[in-house]
């Protein structure tokens, strides 16, 4: 078997020749250890990737039936299937009596794991395995009267809180625990009662021995735990270990991150598709023979691009729920300057005022309304190449917010202001239906001001 051990170590691990030779010497004792413990015995090494372990040595007991019908030599092992092995590799300490999944039988076994060191470096672990149905329960050494927090004293509170709570005495033994702690360690694979167990066998991290009261987080098996160690030093108690199971919280956070990535990718694809559609409309505009058709195509392309602004802003801000409205209005301005105003048009567009964050839905409606109002001003307020200024102002108040689009052009025909042309009809509908606001128009020879309010 030594030859196979060397080949496996050279192929799958980063062990040196001296370290491999040390394991080969260990192999000579495996059969005796298996017979004495009446258990399957393995040597596992960490793989080069660090993502799994590989069996480089094994022995089946000759005195009792093995848990395995086939050899496991050379088989990779998943950390999630063997939490005792993962703990001993991670902490460099023994782990006694934790359940694991036996591969390939997919049954349940109980493992005791000892780290193997060579010249101070952890190079492998020695694993004893028995079927879970045959593993003896270790009886707690703590007297019955001291087995848990008592309801008659002030520590009864530990029984009704969600956190797992354990007390460790000056002999480094678990002297008290609540029901949440028992349940947690059962889920972690411990087959024996943790009460009376050595604290070295239940510690979650080597840093736990240096308690500072701060919270730490550790992933063990398929659980994610948050814990802290609090020094007590009274009534023969050294410290308390408080543990929170945050596995579900971290799972939800991971799922939210994946959903956010999916939404971002969807927005990116939608943005590209909308830009392609707008480009096709621009192409048709350039090739249209009638000015009226050109105007309709130009307006339609502008409206489509204004809807695309929200997607672009969401991607730029890496936001999912709320966007900077000032940023959206700046993009509306840039879009109109690039697509609707040629260099011969001496019209300036400015954005000023406050900033606030709004939902993506509200941002889409506002960008469409502002785009329509500015486009109207560009087309009608400054005839015959007249110079002018269009000011987009955002005002935030405690009750609602207001946007005004003001120009210093020739003013608007009152009949047209009260009419229901496509542009103004769309604006009124969006303000009323999407923003739950009101729109007012004031116009004279000094220019036009359109104001609409909304609740952010």
User: pLDDT tens, 101-155?
Assistant: 876 666 788 999 999 999 999 999 999 998 877 655 443 333 343 445 543 444 5
In this predicted structure, what is the pLDDT of residue 156? 46
315's CB contacts (< 8 A; 6+ apart) are 264, 267, 268, 271
Higher pLDDT, 151 or 223: 223
Lowest mean pLDDT segment, chosen from 25-29, 163-167, 344-348, 439-443: 344-348
User: pLDDT tens, 412-434?
Assistant: 875 665 555 556 888 888 898 88
Instruction: Spell out the domains of the chain, with CATH numbers in brackets.
Output: 2-131 (3.30.450.280), 144-245 (3.30.450.20), 249-454 (3.30.565.10)
Q: Name the nearest CA neighbour of 5 among 42, 32, 40, 34.
A: 42
* 175-184, 282-291, 301-310: range with highest mean pLDDT: 175-184
Nearest-10 crossing angle of helices 291-317, 325-339: 150
pTM for the full predicted model = 0.52
Mean pLDDT of 159-186: 86
Percent of the chain with pLDDT over 70: 84
d(CA 443, CA 406): 10
- Asked if 80 and 52 touch (Cβ cutoff 8 Å), the reply is no
Mean pLDDT of 340-352: 82
Cβ count within 10 A of residue 342: 7
First to last CA, the chain: 73
User: pLDDT tens, 15-60?
Assistant: 999 999 999 998 999 999 999 989 999 999 999 888 889 999 999 9
Pairs from 278-282 (Cβ < 8 Å, separation ≥ 24): 278/304, 278/305, 278/308, 282/339
Cβ count within 10 A of residue 51: 10
In this predicted structure, what is the pLDDT of residue 82? 87
In this predicted structure, what is the pLDDT of residue 311? 65
d(CA 83, CA 98): 7
Token output for 297: 């195509």
């Amino acid at each position: 078997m030594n030859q196979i051990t060397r080949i496996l170590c050279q192929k799958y691990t980063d062990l040196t020749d001296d370290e491999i030779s040390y394991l080969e010497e260990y192999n000579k004792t495996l059969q005796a250890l298996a017979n004495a413990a009446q258990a399957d015995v393995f040597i596992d090494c960490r793989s080069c990737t660090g993502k799994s372990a590989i069996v480089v040595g094994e022995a089946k007991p000759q005195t009792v039936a093995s848990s395995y019908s086939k050899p496991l030599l050379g088989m990779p092992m998943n950390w999630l299937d063997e939490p005792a092995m993962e703990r001993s590799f991670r902490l460099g300490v023994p782990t006694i009596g934790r359940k694991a999944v036996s591969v390939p039988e997919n049954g349940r076994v109980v493992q005791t794991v000892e780290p193997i060191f060579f010249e101070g470096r952890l190079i492998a672990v020695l694993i004893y395995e028995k079927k879970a149905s045959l593993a003896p329960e270790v009886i707690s050494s703590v007297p019955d009267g001291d087995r848990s927090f008592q309801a008659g004293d002030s520590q009864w509170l530990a029984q009704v809180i969600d956190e797992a709570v354990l007390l460790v005495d000056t002999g480094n033994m678990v002297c008290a625990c609540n029901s949440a702690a028992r349940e947690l360690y059962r889920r972690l694979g411990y087959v024996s009662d943790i009460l009376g167990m050595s604290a070295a066998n239940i510690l979650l991290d080597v840093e736990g021995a240096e308690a500072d009261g701060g919270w730490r987080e550790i992933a063990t098996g398929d659980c994610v735990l948050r814990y802290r160690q609090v020094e007590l030093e009274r009534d023969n108690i050294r410290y308390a270990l408080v543990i929170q199971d945050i596995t579900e919280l971290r799972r939800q956070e991971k799922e939210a991150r994946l959903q956010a990535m999916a939404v971002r990718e969807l927005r990116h694809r939608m943005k590209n598709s909308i830009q392609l559609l707008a480009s096709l409309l621009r192409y048709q505009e350039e090739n249209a023979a009638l000015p009226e058709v050109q105007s309709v195509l130009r307006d339609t392309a502008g409206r489509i691009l204004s809807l695309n602004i929200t997607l672009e802003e969401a991607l730029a801000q890496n936001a999912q729920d709320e966007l900077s409205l000032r940023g959206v209005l700046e993009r509306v301005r840039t879009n109109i300057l690039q697509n609707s105003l040629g260099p011969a048009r001496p019209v300036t567009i400015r954005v000023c005022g406050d900033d606030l964050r709004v939902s993506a839905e509200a941002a889409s409606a506002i960008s469409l309304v502002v785009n329509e109002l500015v486009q109207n001003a560009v087309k009608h307020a400054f005839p015959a190449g007249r110079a002018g200024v269009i000011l987009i102002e955002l005002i935030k108040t405690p009750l609602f917010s207001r946007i005004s689009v003001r120009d210093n052009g020739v003013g608007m025909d009152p009949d047209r202001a009260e009419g229901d042309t496509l542009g103004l009809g769309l604006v009124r509908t969006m303000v009323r239906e999407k923003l739950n606001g009101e729109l007012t128009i004031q116009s004279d020879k000094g220019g036009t001001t359109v104001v609409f309010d909304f609740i952010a």
